[in-house]
């Protein structure tokens, strides 16, 4: 397989992990390694909740989904699978947690978790509100509602096992910076990037406390990616240069330190909480800096949405120049990794998240 070319020690570790996982999944006879997966946050993990909202931030039209199952758009901001889709598969599940606002989120479909994420949402209510997305606090409200549905369907005891055994995944912060802080002069005048990161980290702590109080014991949160290397960031903030925007990457590093500090503090105060901060900064930057060594070809331009600033932020059927095969592109659109890159990221999640399943 092309994608595996040139990987070093991580490959060996990963191969081991994969063998162990496969054996464990085998033993558990088709059930997942954990009872379920609960997903919260932004467009990196949204599996279609925004399809049901009056928001412009959606991906329920071609060419989104063209490489997904049945080659149909689902609302995922990708040509195919999200990193969390691969994670769910790695854990041994045969279906993905349904988008909570979709018709599929009913009955026994709810018993292996659900997806509450909403594109353009983030740590701050104001980020989601700007785009009519679902704020994180509201996602947690939906999760509460979900819990009572599950209790009715499965009974209290089974429900409790599901809530405490499931992995909770959160992806947030991207939209708070890119779609709020950097474009909102009031916000950037009131807070330095460091202060703004502090504010987001407080909201992160709040989120973890809330889901912990609702029974969560295994939580994984993704770090920020190298935001300055997103094709959209280069187009908007790169000042005409075609390299990564250093300032934005520095802000991501600042934020990632804060979130690690916040996580350490949460772990100290809650010894029975397993909490992992997934570092996606480094694996994604490695792909961007060295696409060839992982079998990629293009890491600066998105497959869908290239060209002038006005058109580079859009990906739809009228977008000119969409690539015919996204396999060798790190970015599918100007904000989101391709399925091929998501597969690499999910390998990193698996290696770093082993503590959540062992
Ligand atoms: C977000 O809004 C909810 C209620 O809508 C509120 O309880 C919560 O404190 C707010 N969170 C932040 C970080 O402002
Ligand atoms: C895309 O390219 C890869 C190799 O780079 C190839 O394996 C795959 O079959 C191609 N897919 C399509 C749909 O052409």
Atom of ligand 2 nearest to the CA of 67: 13
Residues 280-287 have a mean pLDDT of: 96
Residue nearest atom 8 of ligand 1, based on CA coordinates: 137
Q: Which CATH class is domain 30-357?
A: alpha beta
Please state, in angstroms and rounded to a whole number, the distance separating the CA atoms of residues 39 and 41: 7
CA dist 46 and 118 (Å) reads: 5
Per-domain boundaries in the chain = 30-357
Indicate which atom in ligand 1 lies nearest the CA of residue 203.
Answer: 13
Query: pTM of the full predicted structure?
Result: 0.93
Going by CA atoms, what residue is nearest to atom 14 of ligand 1?
125
Ramachandran bin of 57, using left for φ above 0, alpha for ψ from -120 to 50, beta for the remaining angles = beta
Work out the percent of the chain whose per-residue pLDDT is above 90: 82
CA of 206 relative to ligand 1 center, distance in Å: 10
Ligand 1 touching residue 135 (CB < 6 A):
yes
| CA 119 / ligand 1 centre spacing (Å) | 18
| Among the bound ligands, the one closest to the CA of 126 | 1
Q: Is the CB of residue 206 less than 8 Å from the CB of residue 239?
A: no
CA 142 from centroid of its chain's CA atoms? 18
Distance from Cα 298 to the centre of ligand 1, integer Å: 40
Which tens digits make up the pLDDT trace of 101-114?
A: 999 999 999 999 99
Verify whether ligand 1 is closer than 6 Å to residue 125 (CB atom): yes
Among protein residues, the one with the nearest Cα to ligand 1's atom 4 is: 137
The ligand that comes nearest to the alpha carbon of residue 140 is: 1
The pLDDT confidence band at residue 151, using thresholds 50, 70 and 90, is very high
- Do residues 357 and 33 touch, judged by C-beta distance below 8 A? yes
Which of 47, 222, 52 minimizes the C-alpha distance to 133? Answer: 52
Q: How far apart are CA 143 and CA 105, in angstroms?
A: 12
Residue 339 has pLDDT above 90, yes or no: yes
Rounded distance from Cα 345 to ligand 2 centre (Å): 20
Centroid of ligand 1 to alpha carbon of 238 (angstroms): 33
pLDDT band at 2 (very low <50, low <70, confident <90, very high): very low
pLDDT of residue 241: 87
Q: Which range has the worst mean pLDDT, 151-155, 156-160, 273-277, 301-305? A: 301-305
Q: Look at strands 274-278 and 218-222 and give their pairing.
A: parallel
291 token code pair = 């696409």
- Cα 332 off chain centre by: 14
Residues with catalytic roles: 43, 333, 336
Q: 218: which strand partners?
A: 167, 274
Which atom number of ligand 1 is nearest to the Cα of residue 206? 13
pLDDT band at 28 (very low <50, low <70, confident <90, very high): low
What pLDDT score does 49 carry? 98
pLDDT given for residue 239 in this prediction: 87
């Amino acid at each position: 397989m092309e994608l595996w070319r040139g990987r070093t020690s991580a490959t060996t570790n990963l191969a081991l992990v994969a063998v162990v996982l496969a054996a464990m999944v085998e033993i558990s006879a088709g059930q997942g390694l954990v009872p379920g997966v609960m997903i919260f946050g932004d467009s990196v993990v949204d599996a279609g909740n925004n399809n049901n909202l009056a928001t412009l931030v959606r991906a329920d039209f071609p060419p989104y989904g063209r490489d997904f199952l049945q080659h149909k758009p689902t609302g995922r901001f990708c040509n195919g699978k999200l990193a969390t889709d691969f994670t769910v598969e790695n854990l041994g599940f045969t279906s993905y947690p349904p988008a909570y606002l979709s018709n599929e989120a009913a009955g026994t479909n709810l018993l292996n978790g659900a997806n509450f994420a909403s594109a353009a949402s983030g740590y701050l209510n104001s980020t989601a509100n700007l785009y009519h997305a679902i704020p994180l606090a509201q996602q947690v409200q939906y999760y509460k509602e979900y819990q009572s549905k599950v209790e009715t369907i499965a009974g209290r005891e089974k429900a409790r096992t599901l809530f405490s055994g499931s992995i909770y995944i959160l992806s947030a912060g991207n939209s708070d910076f890119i779609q709020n802080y950097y474009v909102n002069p009031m916000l950037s005048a009131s807070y330095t990037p460091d202060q703004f990161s502090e504010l987001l980290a407080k909201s992160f702590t709040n989120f973890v406390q809330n889901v912990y109080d609702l029974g969560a014991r295994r939580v994984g949160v993704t770090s920020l990616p190298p935001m300055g290397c997103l094709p959209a960031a280069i187009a908007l903030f790169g000042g005409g240069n075609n390299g990564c925007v250093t300032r934005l990457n520095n802000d991501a590093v600042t934020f990632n330190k804060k979130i690690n500090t916040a996580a350490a503090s949460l772990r100290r105060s809650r010894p029975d909480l397993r909490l992992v901060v997934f570092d996606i900064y480094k694996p994604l930057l490695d792909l961007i800096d060295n696409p060839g060594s992982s079998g990629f070809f293009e890491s600066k331009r998105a497959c869908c949405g290239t060209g002038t600033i006005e058109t580079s932020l859009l990906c739809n059927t009228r977008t000119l120049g969409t690539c015919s095969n996204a396999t060798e592109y790190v970015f599918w659109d100007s904000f989101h990794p391709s399925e091929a890159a998501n597969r690499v990221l999910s390998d990193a999640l698996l290696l770093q998240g082993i503590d959540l399943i062992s």
